[in-house]
A and B are shown apart, each in its own frame.
Chain A
Amino acid sequence: MSEAAKEILAVITTNRNKVAGAVPIFIADSAEEKEKVARYLASTLDAMVHDLENGVYYIVKH
């Protein structure tokens, strides 16, 4: 809830055409793998998984 800078730490997707840029991008083969990778990344980064609802998950430190 603090107003500290929010930052996208990683992006996980099954569709490599949807993403580009200077964040770590993880390509998953299936929705299950995407979910799992996102969960593992979020828990090691102490951050939260959000869903852009276009097949792209991103991890944000709040």
Chain B
Amino acid sequence: MEQYLLNIIAGSLAGIIARIFMMRLDYRQYPGYPHGLISHLSLGAIAAALGAVAIPALINKDFTAFTFLALAAQQFREIRNIERETLQNLEEMRLEKRGKDYIEGIARTFEARNYLVMATAFITSAVALAGLWYALAAAVVLLIASVRFMAGEVVGDICEVVPAEIHFKDTLLFVGDINIMTVGLRESREKILHDALGVMIKPLNDNSRATLHDMGQRMAISHTAAVIMGSKNEVDRPEFTPLVRKNIDTGAVALYIVPLEKDIEALLAAVRRTPLLESARLKPLKTQAGRIASD
């Protein structure tokens, strides 16, 4: 196997570097737990090593070793379960829930990233047969590809996000023309008028309208806004819970939040940067019926 040492090292290194790069993207949607970082880096390293040794194993006609990749896939599915369980357990104690869709999305991303690492290592190790410089070039291309293509879209890409006015009709709270809830206490109404912010999220087409219809996506928006802006929500003051409600006629949604930092520009940026959940990305315009209906 010694003549393949270069392949293995090149592949493993490329894979580990890819994992480190993708780790940076992780932290946009996942708070920085140092131990989580360690475990994901080590699993990434294992994935990279597995991908890198696959090529020498194939060349040596060691097909049994190749089947170990299947075993690895099993392990990575386990990562998804672990990640999901952790987040679900933490969720119970959160005032602003991430929502099941968001958790599922994060868990799936963590699994998929290990496959990306494995693929990066595999391809780099294969190209390394042609020479070190080729391997280097391949690794760079793969790194850019995994970071660029896996970054995912954000709400700002498919929706127009604009400030909206908070007002009351008697006790009904409205953001723009969208009814959010009823607030019984006069004191709370005054505080909401004084402190709350409203944002209108207008879908650009029928695809984005279907995405905003998804409750999971809406929870992700209110969760992100609350994490970034802070929230005056408290266990005994549920009227300050951030909410996202839809205009049933237009499909636009409104976000209501009582932030700790009353800064509308920051809130708009937070909403625009909210990741679009894979599970919420519906594309009715890709179907014939959807295109006809959109006229």
Contacts and interface: CB of A to CB of B under 8 A. Distances in A.
Interface of A: 1-2, 35, 38-39, 42-44, 46-51, 53, 57-58, 62
B236 interface: yes
Question: Could you say which of B184, B215, B219, B237 has the most chain A C-beta atoms within 10 Å of its C-beta?
Answer: B184
Interface stretch (B30-38, B47-55, B124-132, B238-246): B238-246
Contact of A38 (B97, B185, B219): B185
A1 B243 contact: yes
A13 to B, nearest CB: 12
23 contacts: A1-B97, A1-B219, A2-B97, A35-B185, A39-B187, A42-B185, A42-B236, A43-B236, A43-B237, A44-B236, A46-B235, A46-B236, A47-B238, A48-B238, A49-B239, A50-B182, A50-B183, A50-B184, A51-B182, A51-B183, A53-B171, A57-B184, A62-B238
Interface size class of B (residues with CB under 8 A): 20 to 34
Contacts, number: 46
Contacts of B238: 46-48, 62
B61 interface: no
A1 B170 contact: no
Interface in B95-114: 97
B217 interface: no
Interface in B224-239: 235-239
Interface string B44-77: 0000000000000000000000000000000000
A49 B236 contact: no
Contacts of A49: 183-185, 188, 239
